[in-house]
Amino acid sequence: MAALNGSQSRYVTLVSSDGFEFVVLREATFISPAIKSMLDPKSQFAESRTGRCVFEEISGMVLEKVVEYFQYWYKNKEREDVPDMEIPVELCLEILTAADYLGIDSKASLKR
């Protein structure tokens, strides 16, 4: 999803190590400082031009949950009575590793 006419697309594509692609609202991904930096036009990263981030170290199952969290956070960022998000126990360690890699901090995400 490259930028159109010199402006950034509202959506970005996140690609897992096993080739699954997730199209996500750009603003929803900004909870991750790593992705936000990658997509910053001033960064000179290829991702900022293409709107496509490939994560060779994150599987499709885990990236799907990460994307679900991005959307969950974006939808609920202004609310105070946010219900818990369901996370499969068997993916917890991998999701924590991905969250650490992406710089997602639960305390920081509450302040945004």
Consecutive sets of 10 residues in the chain, 112 residues long: mean pLDDT of each?
61 98 96 96 93 97 96 91 90 95 71 46
Q: Specify the pTM.
A: 0.85
How far apart are alpha carbons 45 and 24 in whole angstroms? Answer: 19
At 55 the pLDDT is 97
Residues 23 and 74 sit within 8 Å (Cβ to Cβ):
no
Q: What confidence score (pLDDT) does residue 7 get?
A: 67
**HSE (CB half, 13 Å, CA atoms) of 98?**
22
pLDDT of 83 reads: 86
- Token pair, residue 22, equals 């997730």
